[in-house]
Structure 1
């Protein structure tokens, strides 16, 4: 979830860029940087960690007078969080910032290295600036060189380039990653990847569409698509920064539900390619001699781990168990030296999970952390780390963090299955095809959201909720119940569907709501039979399924999917929206539910 800011004008450039980057802090980052140019003088500063580190580095630097400037906050995809890998990246006389991923960067890098170009960083981004300078030397025209550069790029990008070859200009391009441009009354030009940094500087902006590119000078913004000049429509900018951060949504949780489609792409960047799974962050040697997986987590992360346990055993054919961290640390566990101990945490600071990780490390087990926050305690302690790349999640009740945890664990399953030669090439391609389909699956259909909003009024009374499902839909039922509990304060429980007749069905009556997950591709008839038992006892049933269920009191139809995990993620979105809309009707603060904290750093 990288961030970009740019500026052309006569104000203090450092302060505009830094204040803009501060507005993007909520997205998350692991390093940041700024480059300013006045005439032919370029100054560049980079820092790892919090933005305050960059502010400290630039405290004695001033950049008055006319010039151009670009800034960036980075969420690592290629190369570790270091100053060398931080943006902006330098060529001989130009700088670039970039959000997204250049899928063909290795091919471009190989060609440039044959031409004698030396690379400093491990990033995909650095190829952009060197390619630009190569073409500029050939064409002697910076804009034509930029146009040719972006024609060679495959992937997603929001790009800003400044260069001594055009000292008063910023070159820009956008594909599949946000880029916004605005001008003030004096002709000064502002760039950002989000609304908030531009508020207070400009009144209206252009939201670039994919494949748009161009150049800007003071008083001039030229935008092109397919080599033709275009004049995109301008839109009024919100005046409230907190509203801009929420991007028009009522709550951060709602925004984060809608963001899941985007963060799914972020999670897979550089990892799902050519029908296989690749992790630059870990070595396949961590699986050498491993005959068991132990997953350990709390709360929502526990539900992600429980989901993954089905996949490890079914797909990778390896014995797997799941531990609740708060229980594991006190049970005097028997630890198999041939286990890979995987901890799952959004924050990387969850006290119980952190202590469990210490126990596993002290016992000599190989360890892997699945985490969203780089440089967190868990990340620093674990032997191996895979970041989920969800960006900062402001809503206390986790949504996109859960999504990216399950996705990341699914990718680890496929990575291991490939190492163990469990899957054929065609089977692996089918699995990666399902993964690549998730951004589409996770898109929120406004009609579906509106239906959930309307039916939510049915569920404000009664004496509780059962969420039921089988297989991976059992941990999803647990997660759906937890979401509702967390933000609505209504009593809800998740159950494996087959367990209903072993006691819980005694609670069923017309005042009990049952939320039944009925996927077409996983044990549909078995689950349907369990739901029929509830309907026969006058239980109120909301069925979520691609197949019509005649005994349900409410029905939410999901789409037909080829893979059961596609059904999993589509139903997950339904459950998140269901909890959200009930909570809003009850008048609760969705983002800050009572008695809860985002990161549980105490027992």
Structure 2
């Protein structure tokens, strides 16, 4: 995941910027760079593909320094990990660094080219520098040009910019991606998280959604999303170089829930060619000649695979069998010559999943791993890897790794559908557009957090909770129940809503909480009937839906959590956020150990 660092002050910054980037290496990256304004008033950039050692070499070969600068570690999104595409990007007197995805960059690029700006990279980030430069060219000062540029951006971003003509300030903004301001005695700092600033200051301000700020030496001026002056609390950071930090959040799980727009964006960057409107997954397996896909995983990863089964069958017309890894090889499964096997694991070290992979390889099946750790055992032993880009996940209960897995599986399914001739080129381009909306929309779904926290107070008082869903929302309901069990220790079960009459409805009594995952789709009316059945028997229904679903549900639910309207493909990805928040806040209010729940480990490396 990309990292940002910035310093404005009175002493030399280049070496310190590079040190800050080293503290961000844990996020993962494939290029690095810095930009400084020299004492002579010249904007100098030093960049390199690969690791920070390459940047060190570039600086050693052409030293440069100043008292203000910005740095960046980049996971390639739009464009390959090359020197040309590495951040910082520049346009005239302006340099910027950016995390996230700008959804409307192609539209902006067309406008900027018409104005005479030369876009020399395929990146979405470059247009931000040109937008600011365009405002300056029109006579705006830096603050006005920066704000005008940010107003044009659609997507998720954390952004820092500097201008040669105003060498005493950094301009920053965030929407959907975290950004921290640090306060020193005679310096100001910017970072992706407080860990980037460790050793410089422990006084940090966590910018809120939509905030923009001007950071100067020892001071910061912040505007909120409505462009009103805002006073944000100054926190004392406990971040220590070399260790992950919870930042402004009470728990790593909460932090990781809010990092999902970034995790999804970076996972998409690995598999989506935005300019071509296509997916780069078609050659991972010989999709055209596969008759059946065997999908195997444990826990949350299993539920990701169960959602992926719907996508592979609907969009690639590829038959999928999904098994819990701990059971798979013990049933002596039949594996044919044209079968392939898919293994999903955050750590890539899950013992049962690794054993299932070895079983399938021994039987002659081609194997594909969806993992978050490229150096893991499963990644090393599989024939092909679809790596997710969630970054380190500290909380035992998986959140951002789950939605990153869903993102990768969606890309794989659509890529397979294109290779198998099920989808047209136009279909593929449409799905690219839809998936690129996921970071912004899951960020919008997180805005329901205050309402969800209020509902969570009710769940702290109960012993049993039922989760219901149909289609892709059936495995999502099971995932929601698992999350609640894992961290709150409340008994919860997830069921297919159509199975109510076959037993689970006997559990319903006055006040039983029933969480229904049902954004509007072709099965909504059936799910609504099931919801009404439990409500008629006294259940307290918590409905997670969208605007249309909420309007059709009427007063059948005690609580309605409304998520943003989404294309069909990404609805279950976006709907995961409120389900995760409900479990998180219930556990937090109960005072359990959210990040390290009893009896559980992050990576299960034994059977």
**TM-score category of the 2 structures, normalised to the smaller one:** 0.7 to 0.9
1:449 matches 2:448? no
> Cα distance 1:497–1:173, how it changes in 2: closer, same or farther (>3 A)?
closer
Separation in 1 of the partners of 2:556 and 2:89?
61
Once the two structures are TM-superposed, the CA of residue 601 in structure 1 deviates from its matched residue by: 2.5
1:596 matches 2:600? yes
User: Which of 578, 586, 593 is equivalent to 2:590?
Assistant: 586
2:20 equivalent in structure 1: 20
Using the size of structure 1 for normalisation, the TM-score is 0.73
User: Which of 217, 231, 238 is equivalent to 2:235?
Assistant: 238
1:413 equivalent in structure 2: 413
Secondary structure at the aligned position of 1:516 is classed as strand
| Contact 1:487/1:579 (<8 A) preserved | yes
1:391 matches 2:395? no
> Cα distance 1:419–1:520, how it changes in 2: closer, same or farther (>3 A)?
same
> Cα distance 1:429–1:288, how it changes in 2: closer, same or farther (>3 A)?
closer
**Comparing 331-340 and 392-401, the one that deviates more:** 331-340
1:139 equivalent in structure 2: none
| Contact 2:8/2:170 (<8 A) preserved | no
1:138 equivalent in structure 2: none
CA deviation profile, 1:229-267 (whole Å, cap 9, x unmatched): x99767553212359944433322223323334444444
1:221-370 equivalent positions in 2, closer than 5 A? 235=232, 237-241=234-238, 245-269=245-269, 278-280=278-280, 283=283, 286-370=286-370
| Contact 2:189/2:197 (<8 A) preserved | yes
Secondary structure at the aligned position of 2:465 is classed as strand
* Structure 2 gaps, min length 5: 114-118, 135-141, 545-549
CA deviation profile, 1:485-544 (whole Å, cap 9, x unmatched): 1001122222222333334444444485433334432423433444455456x4634241
Secondary structure at the aligned position of 1:483 is classed as helix
1:488 equivalent in structure 2: 488
Once the two structures are TM-superposed, the CA of residue 3 in structure 1 deviates from its matched residue by: 0.9
Number of corresponding residues: 580
CA deviation profile, 1:126-168 (whole Å, cap 9, x unmatched): 9999x99xx9xxxxxxx9xx99xx99x98877677999x9998
1:194 equivalent in structure 2: 193
Select the structure of larger CA radius of gyration: 1
| Contact 1:260/1:442 (<8 A) preserved | no
| Contact 1:258/1:444 (<8 A) preserved | no
| Contact 2:395/2:595 (<8 A) preserved | yes
1:376 matches 2:376? yes
Once the two structures are TM-superposed, the CA of residue 57 in structure 1 deviates from its matched residue by: 9.4
Separation in 1 of the partners of 2:296 and 2:86?
32
| Contact 1:11/1:64 (<8 A) preserved | no
Once the two structures are TM-superposed, the CA of residue 343 in structure 1 deviates from its matched residue by: 1.8
Secondary structure at the aligned position of 1:288 is classed as helix
Separation in 2 of the partners of 1:208 and 1:524?
35
> Cα distance 1:550–1:208, how it changes in 2: closer, same or farther (>3 A)?
closer
CA deviation profile, 1:318-376 (whole Å, cap 9, x unmatched): 21111222222444432233233222222222222233333334444333322223333
Secondary structure at the aligned position of 1:556 is classed as strand
1:548 equivalent in structure 2: 553
* Structure 1 gaps, min length 5: 112-116, 136-142, 225-229
Separation in 2 of the partners of 1:85 and 1:349?
33
Secondary structure at the aligned position of 1:544 is classed as strand
1:173-188 equivalent positions in 2, closer than 5 A? 184-186=184-186, 188=187
> Cα distance 1:329–1:277, how it changes in 2: closer, same or farther (>3 A)?
farther
| Contact 2:194/2:204 (<8 A) preserved | no
CA RMSD of aligned residues (A): 5.5
Once the two structures are TM-superposed, the CA of residue 410 in structure 1 deviates from its matched residue by: 1.8
CA deviation profile, 1:429-466 (whole Å, cap 9, x unmatched): 6645543253465332245334423433443x4xx333
2:138 equivalent in structure 1: none
Separation in 1 of the partners of 2:478 and 2:209?
39
Once the two structures are TM-superposed, the CA of residue 592 in structure 1 deviates from its matched residue by: 1.3
Separation in 1 of the partners of 2:294 and 2:352?
15
Once the two structures are TM-superposed, the CA of residue 478 in structure 1 deviates from its matched residue by: 0.9
> Cα distance 1:549–1:18, how it changes in 2: closer, same or farther (>3 A)?
same
Once the two structures are TM-superposed, the CA of residue 426 in structure 1 deviates from its matched residue by: 6.2
Using the size of structure 2 for normalisation, the TM-score is 0.73
